[in-house]
Structure 1
Amino acid sequence: MVVVRGALVLSLVALLLGLSAGPATAQGPKPTIVLVHGAFADSSGWRDVAANLRSEGYPVQTFDNPLRSPAYDSGQLEKQLATISGPIVLVGHSYGGFVITNTHDPDVRANVYIAAFAPASGEFVQGLLNPITYPGSRLLPPALQLKLVENDPTGIGGRNIDGYIARPYFRDIFAQDVSPAVAADMFAHQKSAALVANLEPSGAPSWATVPSWYLISTQDRVIPPALQRFMSSRAAPGRTAAVDASHASLVSRPADVTAIVLAAATAVQR
């Protein structure tokens, strides 16, 4: 388990993001940090990040993302947020960024995008992953496979078509910078995502009114780094950092992910 020490990390990140590197103690209450996983993963990927944040005294929750569609998933997230008292910081990885973008709760004080989609209104996953404009994603057949999902109330007739990453390709595409054993564990926790989640357009983006931060993964083979830079320039201008990591930076570089979450959490306490 990787544990970071808040004062030093906050100072470094504050300098990087142009924030005031004040003392770790703050005037306002510590926000609850809600961690939202993306497609082809589950909440277990946040294990080290969550432990780091709790060690700094922050209440942390994870969200079991259904991965059905932006509207449905954000609606389920809003139900969970309604049970939380006080300020909230939302953290989304990958497709989880689509979900937090479409979540509008008055208690959310900041969004943090970790190698994530940060769409504008009307944009959708497959459209953003345009290989002509932003080449580099390896999330294509035969690595990307389809399967029929039964008993899905969000699908037509209780059925849906989901996508997932096939075992031989998982580590190379999703998490090339973790050990084979860790990648195998991540594959075992993989959740498939409904195809409609890739095609449903985003609604009005929460980042237009909520201060947002973004951590780019420069070795990402799922969301091309150039696309991440474009989205972060709109959603998190002046609050963007980069890490030399795969798409799964929350697993391979939890200290860096923790640092930018702490920067956002500290800022909203002022």
Structure 2
Amino acid sequence: MSSPTIVLVHGAFADASSYSPVTSALLVKGLPVLAVAVPNRSLLGDAASVRAVIESIDGPVLLIGHSYGGAVITVAGDAENVVGLLYLAGYALEEGESLAQLQGGFPDSDLPAALVQRPFPATGDSSDGIDVTVDPDRFAAVVGADVDPKLMAVLAVSQRPLAAVAFSEAAPVAAWRSRPTWAVVCTSDTAINPDVQRFGYQRAGATVIEIDSSHLVMLSRPDDVVDLIESIVAVLTR
């Protein structure tokens, strides 16, 4: 197999720049990479958007999802040219399961109490709804306590909101059932309970590593993430 294109899928309250250190390192190493923009409007719509990007790529794809992006790749990863999945502190949903259902089986992290909800008006392709962000004053402590405070201050005031409907939409497919899967548990994560991560990954039959990191592992431990990606690419191209 030729070297897969590494497609990086960001999570809620973020954009593709959250992968910047990883993206930069992969480019330096000469690996094909694409950090996509996720609309964060609905699980099904976001997955369809990411899948359209995947299917425009000529050749195999290694699909990587962080946080909510894990739920997105669970659905979008069913695209024919996806040859592997990597979850980074992400939601590995089962077919027919929503984010709320998966999280509901475990004690809350610090994230729910830090969320802020705001209404957003209808547009040509959506009805009225609720946007969700993290309280900027609590953002660093909940999401990236081990990341440079100056960077976290910027990220806190430049969040990409997630539409609340994304929490309740069920995944119509679980791509990990038919794709080799790897996963990272962030053991110091206070945004997604590490046990939520472990449960989803074990159910998916993933090859799992644990890293002592906050939720934003690609910013706090980028070298570890890049090393893992390289090792997966090596397995896929044997």
TM-score of the aligned structures, taking structure 2 as reference length: 0.95
- Match for residue 47 of structure 1 among 2, 9, 20: 20
TM superposition shift of 1:70: 1.6
Secondary structure of the residue that 2:170 maps to in structure 1? coil
Residues 101 and 205 in structure 1, CA contact (< 8 A), matched pair in contact too: yes
Provide the C-alpha distance between the structure 2 equivalents of 1:74 and 1:63, rounded to a whole number of angstroms. 11
Aligned residues: 237
Q: Which residue of 1 aligns with 2:165?
A: 196
Say which one has the larger Rg: 1
Q: Which amino acid is 2:168 matched to?
A: L
Matched, 1:250 2:221: no
Residues 74 and 99 in structure 1, CA contact (< 8 A), matched pair in contact too: yes
Aligned pairs for 1:184-263 (under 5 A) are 184-237=153-206, 239-263=207-231
Q: Which residue of 1 aligns with 2:81?
A: 107
TM superposition shift of 1:152: 4.2
Q: Which residue of 1 aligns with 2:67?
A: 94
Residues 91 and 261 in structure 1, CA contact (< 8 A), matched pair in contact too: no
Provide the C-alpha distance between the structure 1 equivalents of 2:91 and 2:115, rounded to a whole number of angstroms. 18
Provide the C-alpha distance between the structure 2 equivalents of 1:175 and 1:152, rounded to a whole number of angstroms. 33
Provide the C-alpha distance between the structure 1 equivalents of 2:187 and 2:125, rounded to a whole number of angstroms. 35
- Match for residue 137 of structure 1 among 109, 123, 131: 109
TM superposition shift of 1:203: 1.4
Structure 1: 5+ residue runs without aligned partners?
Answer: 1-27
Secondary structure of the residue that 2:179 maps to in structure 1? coil
**What is the CA RMSD across the aligned residues, in angstroms?**
1.4
Matched, 1:168 2:137: yes
Structure 2: 5+ residue runs without aligned partners?
Answer: none
Aligned pairs for 1:42-81 (under 5 A) are 42-81=15-54
Q: Which residue of 2 aligns with 1:150?
A: 121
Provide the C-alpha distance between the structure 2 equivalents of 1:235 and 1:65, rounded to a whole number of angstroms. 23
Provide the C-alpha distance between the structure 1 equivalents of 2:101 and 2:145, rounded to a whole number of angstroms. 25
TM superposition shift of 1:153: 4.5
Identity percentage of aligned residues? 34
TM-score of the aligned structures, taking structure 1 as reference length: 0.84
TM superposition shift of 1:231: 0.9
- Match for residue 266 of structure 1 among 226, 234, 238: 234
Q: Which residue of 2 aligns with 1:22?
A: none
